[in-house]
Amino acid sequence: MLRRCFWFVLFFVGLYVCAWGCGGWTTYDEYKCSNPNTTITYNNFVKGFLDKWCNYCHSVTSENRRGAPIAYVFDTYASVVALKKRIFLRSAANNITMPPGPDDPPLEERNKLAEWIVCGTPR
Ligand code: HEC
């Protein structure tokens, strides 16, 4: 009886750990700034990153948004900062659900985006 219970509990503990650990997404609140003196800025990196990987769907001027919500526009510093938590969840660090296509930014760039977002979004 005790033995059976053990496996039962182990199964659910495993499931729980996996939901967090193997699920593979990280939220803005979980990710801590490891480089407070970051040299990554909106102008030297983030703007170019978004223009290359996101704005052909997300820009106001996009001629074919491919379903990208109209509220999610990344054309200005202010709009990017306002949406930073959602951008983080979809594209920064190990979050890879945006862009949706087969072409994906390298992890190194996603990590830079993550650092910029959690270290104060310097302009
Ligand atoms: C091929 C077009 C396309 C590209 C490129 C693209 N997106 Fe999207 N995006 C979409 C579509 C379609 C949706 C709505 C469906 C969804 O949420 O998955 C969306 C929704 C979103 C949302 C809002 C959904 C939410 O609440 O999280 C965010 C934030 C987002 N995208 C960020 C990005 C970022 C950042 C990039 C670039 C790294 C990017 N997207 C690139 C098409 C695109």
Q: Which two tokens stand for residue 13?
A: 């503990």
pLDDT band at 9 (very low <50, low <70, confident <90, very high): low
Q: Which residue has the higher pLDDT, 115 or 11?
A: 115
The DSSP result for 30-85, as a single string, is: TPPPS-TT----IIIIIHHHHHHHTHHHHSTT-S--TT--TT---SSHHHHHHTHH
For ligand 1, what atom is nearest to the CA of residue 67?
A: 12
Distance from C-alpha of 33 to C-alpha of 38, rounded to nearest angstrom: 9
Q: Over 90: is that where the pLDDT of 85 sits?
A: yes
Domain ranges of the chain: 25-118
Distance 20 CA to ligand 1 centre (A): 23
**CA–CA separation, 71 and 11 (whole Å):** 41
Q: From ligand 1's centre to the CA of 98, what distance in Å?
A: 5
> Would you state the pLDDT for residue 24?
75
Whole-angstrom distance, CA of residue 51 vs CA of residue 76: 11
pLDDT at 3: 72
Mean pLDDT of 18-37: 83
Element (H, E) at 5: helix 2-21
